[in-house]
Amino acid sequence: MRLAAAIGATLLLVTGCGSDEPGADAAVGANTDDTAASTSDADCPPSEGAESQTREFDAPPPACLEPGTSYEAVVTTNMGEFTIEVDPETAPVAANNFVFLARNRYFDDTVCHRIIPNFVVQCGDPTATGTGGPGYTIVDEPPTVPYEIGSIAMAKTTMPDSAGSQFFVITGSDGASLPPEYALFGEVIDGFETTVEAMTAAGSPSGEPNEPVEIQSIRIVER
């Protein structure tokens, strides 16, 4: 593995979500929207999406995906749109978690806080610090298939079962060379050459974007 990939892997692990303690709530669930709510019972949101935004939860989501239904996520950013095909077969827990959060409008009006060219675009943290999360973590689902450019996977810390809400888009060969430690739950099927590449162009070797890259909304479409 090339040096850039190894360095990037460390960044994803160390600040992927929450603290270094498994399941810890410190510094997670920060709320950047005054209208956002908190919930104590993680019910499945309606398929058309919740009316109000929720960014804090007391427990991981229940199973919300319907067998035999395919799911796509239309991601609208300040640089255009791209579409993710969600893959419940490769990582059922991560796929369910992503759809659950998207339908709760968790990702709306957040930024992609880490962008490294030829590596990844990392998003899903309302605090924009690299330490935020939804108040819970999910189990690891190491992939049995290789990462590819355009793959969507969960960020995590060095601790097991530490992924929460942060995810990343693999944008180059360094990202595709990551070790199989990050749940692979989808791929970009539209908008990579336009929107995702524009997002990547805003990155830097340090990972700090040179200009704001914002997720305005993520809407789930059933097929």
* Phi then psi dihedrals of residue 22, to 5 deg: -65, 130
How far, in Å, are 94, 136, 196 from residue 60 at the CA level? Answer: 11, 6, 29
pTM metric for this prediction: 0.85
Q: Which residues pair with residue 39 across a beta bridge?
A: 57
Q: What is residue 12's predicted lDDT score, i.e. its pLDDT?
A: 60
- Domains of the chain listed by start with CATH number: 3-29+37-43+54-64+71-222 (2.40.100.10)
* Residue 36 pLDDT > 80: no
pLDDT at 28 over 80: no
> By C-alpha distance, which of 104, 160, 111, 109 is closest to 134?
104
pLDDT (average), residues 35-60: 80
So what's the pLDDT on residue 18?
38
Contact 12, 157 (CB under 8 A): no
pLDDT at 115: 98
Is the pLDDT reported for residue 193 higher than 90?
yes
For residue 66, pLDDT over 90 is answered with: yes
pLDDT of residue 41: 52
Two structure tokens written together for 1: 């593995």
